[in-house]
Amino acid sequence: MTIRYATIGTSWITREFIGGAALAGGLQLAAVYSRNEESGAAFAAGLGGVPVYTDLEKLAASGIDAVYIASPNSLHYPQSRFFLERGIHVLCEKPAALDPAQLLDLQNLAASKKLVCVEALMFLYSPTRFILGEAIERAGKITSARLDFSQYSSRYSALKNGEKPNVFSNKMGGGCLMDLGMYCVCPMLSYFGEPEGIFCSVSRFDADTDLAFSAVFTYPFGDVAVTCSKAGQSRLGSEFIGEGGTVCVESLSLLGNIRFINASGVSEQLVPMPERRLVLSYEAREFRDFMIAPERTRQRLKEVCEASLGVAMYLEKMRSLAGIKLG
């Protein structure tokens, strides 16, 4: 069975996803959407004559089974709802909604219509998360962890030049916390469960734009420190520090370049840096399986939805602590 899917958004991540979906198999690109004909045609060039739609209603009526949404964050909820209401499965880029209430509404709507609505957060689908989990176990009693996602944004210079790119606009659901926070919070919740306490503080570019943030999550075993920035590049990555060793992760989004360094300092590479398309193929593959084998994947779909909801809840708590307002 082949799933006919369409894409929303014409930036590089959509192109990468199309590559990932091709690797996954069983997913046929049936249409692309752009707000305007020209950018849609430019994006579709080289994609095998796939039709371009500039009207979401016409796209929804074109016979597609599913949609991959990679529009600015504030559009994720209304666009996902729009397609679910029309009987179309949704894979939506992170964050799949602006807050947990929106996300729960989408998940309930999908369930009531026997549809799939999941978030394209790579960690949730990457098999490498198990290797990282085993390495953390191997590190023995964890005493602290330092999770970082600091990536110099290609749009930062536009912000400094007085523009407001979507990714930095709180009106569009952007900002550092909404763009990057999930990359640290998702693995933290996955490996350590719910924290006992949270502190969170942001650095702002201006009153409406968070550029970087730090958070400390307290656990019975110690603290997990989370740092993210869009104005500078981390060169050290993240560390899970245990009594018996340290696990270093260069990229928490791709789960790439994972090393175990034992208590004597001997380093072993467990996972190299993967191609993004390969990692995207894992989420595409599971999205496909959720659609074509709902019985077999019911429990797994529930886990993915709960994990997304947990992340959305913590991002909301962090926004509240840091005084970040969206919209």
Ligand X SMILES: NC(=O)c1ccc[n+]([C@@H]2O[C@H](COP(=O)([O-])OP(=O)(O)OC[C@H]3O[C@@H](n4cnc5c(N)ncnc54)[C@H](OP(=O)(O)O)[C@@H]3O)[C@@H](O)[C@H]2O)c1
Interface residues toward ligand X, by CB under 6 A: 9-11, 13, 34-35, 39, 70-73, 75, 93-94, 120, 122, 166-167, 179, 253
Question: Least CB distance from residue 96 to ligand X, whole Å?
Answer: 9
Tell me whether residue 15 is exposed, middle or buried, using C-beta atoms within 10 angstroms of its C-beta: 0 to 12, 13 to 18, 19 or more: middle
Nearer to ligand X, 40 or 245 (CB): 40
The answer to whether the CB of 103 falls within 8 A of the CB of 312 is yes
Question: Least CB distance from residue 204 to ligand X, whole Å?
Answer: 20
173: left (phi over 0), alpha (psi -120 to 50) or beta: left
Nearer to ligand X, 115 or 178 (CB): 178
Residue with tokens 């593959």, as numbered in its chain: 285
Rounded-to-integer distance, Cα 280 and Cα 202, Å: 30
Nearer to ligand X, 82 or 260 (CB): 82
Give the angle subtended at the CA of 24 by the CAs of 88 and 62, to the nearest 5°. Answer: 30
| C-alpha 167 chain-centroid distance | 14
Count the Cβ atoms, other than its own, within 10 Å of residue 40: 20
Question: Least CB distance from residue 272 to ligand X, whole Å?
Answer: 18
Question: Least CB distance from residue 250 to ligand X, whole Å?
Answer: 15
Question: Least CB distance from residue 70 to ligand X, whole Å?
Answer: 4
Question: Least CB distance from residue 146 to ligand X, whole Å?
Answer: 22
The secondary structure of 154-192 as a DSSP string is TTHHHHHTT---GGG-GGGT-SHHHHHHHHHHHHHHHHH
Nearer to ligand X, 66 or 142 (CB): 66
- Give residues with Cβ within 8 angstroms of 54, minimum separation 6: 33, 34, 35, 36, 37, 40
H or E element that contains 148: strand 142-150
Q: 176-192 and 294-322 are packed helices; what angle lies between their axes, rounded to 10 degrees?
A: 120
Nearer to ligand X, 239 or 283 (CB): 283
Residue with tokens 């979507």, as numbered in its chain: 166
Question: Least CB distance from residue 121 to ligand X, whole Å?
Answer: 7
Residue with tokens 């909301």, as numbered in its chain: 316
Nearer to ligand X, 246 or 288 (CB): 288
Nearer to ligand X, 178 or 225 (CB): 178
Nearer to ligand X, 11 or 108 (CB): 11
Question: Least CB distance from residue 216 to ligand X, whole Å?
Answer: 25
